[in-house]
Amino acid sequence: MDLKVLALVLAGGKGTRLAPLTAERAKPAVPFGGKYRIIDFVLSNLINSGIYSIYVLIQFRSQSLLQHLRDGWQFGGMLQNQFIIPVPAQMRSAGETWYSGTADAVYQNFNLIEQSAPDIVVLFGADHIYRMDVRQMIRYHRDKGAGVTISALPVEKKFAKDFGVIEIDEDGRILAFHEKKPDAPTMPGNPEMVLASMGNYIFERELLLDLVGKDAADPQSSHDFGTNILPRLVDSVPMYAYDFQTNHIAGDPPGGTPYWRDVGTLDAYYESNMDMRAIDPPLNLYNRNWPLRTAGYSDPPAKFAFDEENRRGEAIDSILSGGCILSGGVVRRSVLGRHVFVHSYAQVEDCIVFDNVDIGRRCKIRRAIIEKNVRIPPDTVIGYDAEEDRKRYQVTESGLVVIKGERSPVPLSS
């Protein structure tokens, strides 16, 4: 790519609706798919697309995210333009605050953009599960002569309240942008769908600097791209929508619709994890043309053992991470993080289990998310009686049980 590209990854979202998983960590640092974190998806997309100059804009509860970036994503050092650097708020705005919105996050790093002097800035969120060859979007942006390009895909109209909704002409030029309006217009010829912004933008550098500079000086603004900047740009700047459905990754079957999920709620997060472990997953983690990178822990392989009473440790339709030991326990349709121990007679079904969890003998657990470091005592039953569960745990509307983490790790049985 001859263009000079700088990527800014917006990783400062609170993720309130994912609580309690975001009680101690920023949303992009929430574990996903066993050994990964949500932010691994956007970072892998950038690196696999040959974009190596990346600033990650972080703010509160960033310790876990920083540690993950250090463990998995610090590289380079040899070449000046190859880096992934986390940047906390520089408190440069008038109020000397945290990043008060996405535009303010960019404004506070004005100097980093000027110093890098890129031709274009790839400004992506850190909260989504998808694979994307960003080069295809950049090519589209330049072919169109766009000032701004927004990646977009159709979603059901009931989600208009959660997204920026775009109206386009036949050429893909954006005619209107409606941020989180329940009655936003549906797609022509498709009254059930709206065209949603994925929150991923490409900007020409000078335009971006000009926009965030003006926005910073506007006391009425909430400093958010979707709310304050994009809707007003429509008439003055060539803005185009990039159709994410045309994005193709080598090795994926041709013609399939690419997978994209906003895992903003516990139920959406759960469903998307379950998609990863499906027999025929809509996003194939095993496509080696587009590796999903993460921290490289030196975990031992997962182990399946007979227990002392000759019961088999088994897992089926599940993803297991390194260091797991299934000793006489059975795991079905679940996603297990690192170092999970499942003891004899235990039964774990349709669950997401984070790192370092110990599931005691004869436990029966169904449809639960179990946080890191939790020790489930023997004979515990979860997911079979909603009323009982509600007395002890957080239970979502759909009946998903969330078992909160412990503050300090408990010793695990070996």
Judged by the rule CB under 6 A, the positions of this chain that interact with ligand ADQ are 10-13, 27-28, 57, 59, 99, 101-102, 105, 125-127, 163-164, 179, 196-199, 224, 226, 262
Which has the closest alpha carbon to 132: 222, 36, 239, 252? 252
Question: Which residue number, 126 or 249, has a Cβ lying nearer to ligand ADQ?
Answer: 126
CB of 228 to ligand ADQ, least distance (A): 10
Question: Which residue number, 215 or 262, has a Cβ lying nearer to ligand ADQ?
Answer: 262
Question: Which residue number, 164 or 405, has a Cβ lying nearer to ligand ADQ?
Answer: 164
Largest CA distance in the chain: 74
Query: Is residue 114 classed as helix, strand or coil in its secondary structure?
Result: helix
What does the alpha-carbon distance between residue 145 and residue 139 come to, in Å, rounded to a whole number? 10
CB of 199 to ligand ADQ, least distance (A): 3
CB of 101 to ligand ADQ, least distance (A): 5
CB of 344 to ligand ADQ, least distance (A): 42
How is 150-180 classified by DSSP, letter by letter? EEEEEEEGGGGGGSEEEEE-TT-BEEEEEES
Residue 235 neighbours by CB under 8 Å, 6+ apart: none
Tell me the two tokens of residue 408.
Answer: 């300090």
Question: Which residue number, 272 or 327, has a Cβ lying nearer to ligand ADQ?
Answer: 272
CB of 82 to ligand ADQ, least distance (A): 23
What does the alpha-carbon distance between residue 234 and residue 346 come to, in Å, rounded to a whole number? 58
Question: Which residue number, 163 or 242, has a Cβ lying nearer to ligand ADQ?
Answer: 163
Question: Which residue number, 167 or 262, has a Cβ lying nearer to ligand ADQ?
Answer: 262
CB of 78 to ligand ADQ, least distance (A): 29
Pairing of strands 239-243, 164-168: unpaired
How is 178-210 classified by DSSP, letter by letter? EES-TT---BTTBTTEEEEEEEEEEEEHHHHHH
Tell me the two tokens of residue 346.
Answer: 């235990």
What b-and-e string marks burial along 53-71, b requiring 16 or more CB atoms within 10 Å of the CB? bbbbbbbebbebbeebbee
What does the alpha-carbon distance between residue 100 and residue 89 come to, in Å, rounded to a whole number? 9
Question: Which residue number, 164 or 328, has a Cβ lying nearer to ligand ADQ?
Answer: 164
The answer to whether 369 and 385 are in contact (CB under 8 A) is: no
CB of 104 to ligand ADQ, least distance (A): 7
- How far, in Å, are 74, 392, 393 from residue 387 at the CA level? 46, 9, 10
CB of 211 to ligand ADQ, least distance (A): 15
The answer to whether 344 and 327 are in contact (CB under 8 A) is: yes
Question: Which residue number, 232 or 312, has a Cβ lying nearer to ligand ADQ?
Answer: 232
